[in-house]
Amino acid sequence: MRSDFTDERAWQAARAAALAENDDGFRAYVQVIDEPQFADSTWQGLRQEVRALDEHAAVLFVVDGPALADDHPILVVDLSDEARAAFRCVAHELWGIDNNLNLANMDWDEFADNVDRGGVFLGFPA
């Protein structure tokens, strides 16, 4: 979900990186929401909007201002009733979070506990 509309080129780069297939053929299966009505929305507000829908995924990915920077650290927001703390994930690793959380193959903490000092998930060590 896009919440920053200040840089179209950076948005397109972040979107492409998040949707790209990795070397093993995995990719994120996400519904891209690119609607100006969500401009400058907080992640908390976006979370509330999505949770109000009858059906939604387990996780919300927000492309905000910081996500438009190099490596595109996209904000990862929990949509469960637990409301766990959000963290960031570099766009090219988003597929792992999407695939595993939406299938309940892995838990939130397995990703959230493996962020770097800046709070960004960079992937699991090889």
In the chain, what percentage of residues exceed pLDDT 90?
85
Is residue 75's pLDDT more than 80?
A: yes
Q: Please state, in angstroms and rounded to a whole number, the distance separating the CA atoms of residues 76 and 54.
A: 20
- Whole-prediction pTM value? 0.92
Residues 26-53: tens digit of each pLDDT: 999 999 999 999 999 999 999 999 999 8
Of 46, 50, 62, residue with least CA distance to 2: 62
Is residue 119's pLDDT more than 80?
A: yes
Mean pLDDT across the stretch 64-85?
Answer: 93
Query: Are 27 and 97 contacting, i.e. CB atoms less than 8 angstroms apart?
Result: no
pLDDT of the residue at 55: 83
